[in-house]
Amino acid sequence: MEEFDLIIVGSGAGLNLVDAAVKSGMKVALAENGDMGGTCLNRGCIPSKMWIYPADVIRQIEEGARIGIEAKIEKADFEVVRERTWDTVLKERENIAEAVKEDPRVTSIRDTVSFVGERTLKASDRTIHAPRIVLAGGARSAVPDVPGIDEVEYQTSETIFDIAELPKSMIIMGGGFKGCEFGHFFSAFGTDVTILQRPARLLPNEELEISSAVTRKLGQHVAVRTAHDVLEIRKTDGGVQVISRDRTTGKEVSNEAEMLMVATGMKSNADWLDPAAAGVELDERGYVVVNEHLETTAPGIWALGDITGRHMFRHTANYESQVVWYNMSSNDKAFVDEHAIPHAVYTYPTVGSVGMSEEGAKRGNLKYLVGYNFYSNAAKGTAMANDHGVVKVLVEAGTRRILGAHIAGPEADLLVQQIVYLMNAGDESYLPMARSQVIHPSLSEVVAGAFAHLAEPGAHHHH
């Protein structure tokens, strides 16, 4: 049995803890059964944005036609995109592996570990124990149990970045953020893309107005089929055939393509860890249960990031790693603050969102006001000939506390961030924005304008 001060499972946001722990003189073990850097670096945020930014450029060039700029794309070179992506990912991956190897205070275990008792884990050939353990082992693509899926080749977000060339046609199962991001990329690069989505709309976790904007714009380039239940998948000479039932019409539909991508959801990696052996409880979906201090049900064991199934964003996992470190190394306990967790979906258009949905405000029985604004109402939006951008904000009536904000349109990720800062300031009201001069003509006016249009829910005249 090898003894450590701290064991960390997972080299994504778990690395933040390795860093803090060795600085404070701890002897650390880091277990990682995949590539160093976790999902974000290897099969998530980093490679997907290296792919998607060029797709944004392509769509921007095309949009030029609306303002009198006729341009032709000579070539969209996937090989260049691929090389840039892998240069970035591999360089960073090697840096991490190198730093871990060179640090004598870190023992790197490149293997799957599982619990064999209280605070005790086993890798293939060694048993390790520590008074403190952090589970940051992430999640992986869940493949739905559809007849025939095992008979065909398919891609997931774990494998898609390895493809050597673009398919001519592609079916994406799933219209959540992954389906919408990859649908945007492949369609911009000339692939004929169909998204088959079981829920009745794309991005079902976003506000209806946001979903609609994405469906309208992405739908100009991708065949979007929502409310479709996939019945069967068959191998064909040229690739795959997917039979689905359209719940709206009740009819069976067949789609054929060279490539199939499965992006229907995630599953926790907790099942690899045999958590029951250590008294670590899982919820009904298989994610690690944590309390408001990110403690699991087993004393001395914390969990953070995707393995908890709460908020699957790297920036949230990074924040959670700070909370865990504080709770592990000080006498009082920090609470995890989830009131203003922002995220973006890098599809066409970009989506930026923070805080509550309107549904959430209703569920919490809050008295709230809603404000809408459209890019086309602002001079800069007009200059851009933008016909789809929308901002929706939710504010608590009386206190003026910002509850949430939801944006679809160019730079939505930057625009929503302005609101995130306000939600973390003082009384969380929008008044600092109302009192501020807003650069004219800028897209920031669209955001400020949404707060200027607050009204009772239902009082609005939609575009």
The pLDDT of residue 460 is: 62
**Does 2-140+267-329 match 149-264 in CATH topology?**
yes
Q: Is 184 a catalytic site residue?
A: no
End-to-end CA gap in the chain: 66
The pLDDT of residue 459 is: 73
The pLDDT of residue 463 is: 47
Chunked into runs of 10 residues, the chain (463 residues) has average pLDDT values of: 97 96 96 96 96 98 96 96 97 95 94 96 96 98 97 97 97 98 98 98 97 98 98 96 98 98 97 97 98 97 97 96 96 95 98 97 97 97 96 97 98 98 97 97 98 88 52
Domain ranges of the chain: 2-140+267-329, 149-264, 349-452
Residues in a beta bridge with 351: 345, 408
Starting at the edge strand that comes first in sequence, how are the strands of the sheet with 239-246 ordered? 228-236, 239-246, 252-257
Assigned architecture for domain 2-140+267-329: 3-Layer(bba) Sandwich (3.50)
The residue from 440, 453, 460, 462 that is catalytic is 440
Among 3.20.20.140, 3.30.9.40, 3.30.390.30, 3.30.499.10, what is the CATH number of 349-452?
Answer: 3.30.390.30
CATH of domain 149-264: 3.50.50.60
